[in-house]
Amino acid sequence: MSYSSNDSPTPNFQKVLETGDPRWATRPRPRKGQPNDHNHVPGFNPADAKKELSTKHNGVHGSLDTYYKIKTPVPCNVAVRPCNDPTLVWEYDDHSTRQSARAYISRPAEPETTHIVKVARRKGKQDTVTAVHPAVWQAMEKRRPEPPGDVVGLLNRHVFNGDDDAKEKLVARLRANAPICVYFL
């Protein structure tokens, strides 16, 4: 598949599954980013957390991620759905330079809640605060593959890094309708 410099293909996740090639849901080049709100848990202060659960280096994002348990549940900013859920809409993010399409659904009237919050810290950048979906935290605790939030981006990383084994394992899980994190329209 080849793109001209002006193409902006419509993401086709089914073709990604059929071929194992993430380019079917990847923009040919990054777009200019816009300022984005990185605090998905307004008012969160780590000093107010009930307990610090763990800290780990996130090599993919170049951040130090600290997970906290909080007293009062907060709404999740994602849902977890099977990757072939017919209600998913695959779109490119209008606010960032992200090249990979992500799955979206309409925001539920009452999103699921969580007691787990992640603060991602990167030198010279604003902290990113997110509510960790219970299914993601449960997978982390059991050391199982987490439902990915940017599954096409993850496939692209495996391709870029030449990690064919990881790519094939992920494609096989997705073909088996693995759960993924989906964002709200």
From the list 39, 30, 32, the residue with the least C-alpha distance to 125 is: 39
This prediction has a pTM of: 0.83
CB 69 within 8 A of CB 85: no
Q: Nearest 5 degrees, angle CA 145-CA 151-CA 154? A: 80
pLDDT tens-place string over residues 132-155: 999 999 999 898 888 888 899 899
| pLDDT value for 39 | 64
Average pLDDT of the chain to the nearest whole number = 86
pLDDT tens-place string over residues 82-124: 999 999 999 988 777 778 899 999 999 999 999 999 999 988 8
> Percent of the chain having pLDDT more than 90?
53
pLDDT tens-place string over residues 35-76: 555 666 777 777 777 888 999 988 777 889 999 999 989 999
pLDDT band of 4, cuts 50, 70, 90: very low
Phi, psi of 143, rounded to the nearest 5 degrees: 55, 40
| pLDDT value for 38 | 62
pLDDT band of 2, cuts 50, 70, 90: very low
Sketch the domain layout of the chain as residue ranges: 13-28+36-184
Residue 164 confidence (pLDDT) above 80: yes
Q: How far is CA 40 from CA 37, 101, 125, 131, 156, in A?
A: 7, 20, 16, 7, 26
| pLDDT value for 25 | 93
CB 60 within 8 A of CB 156: no
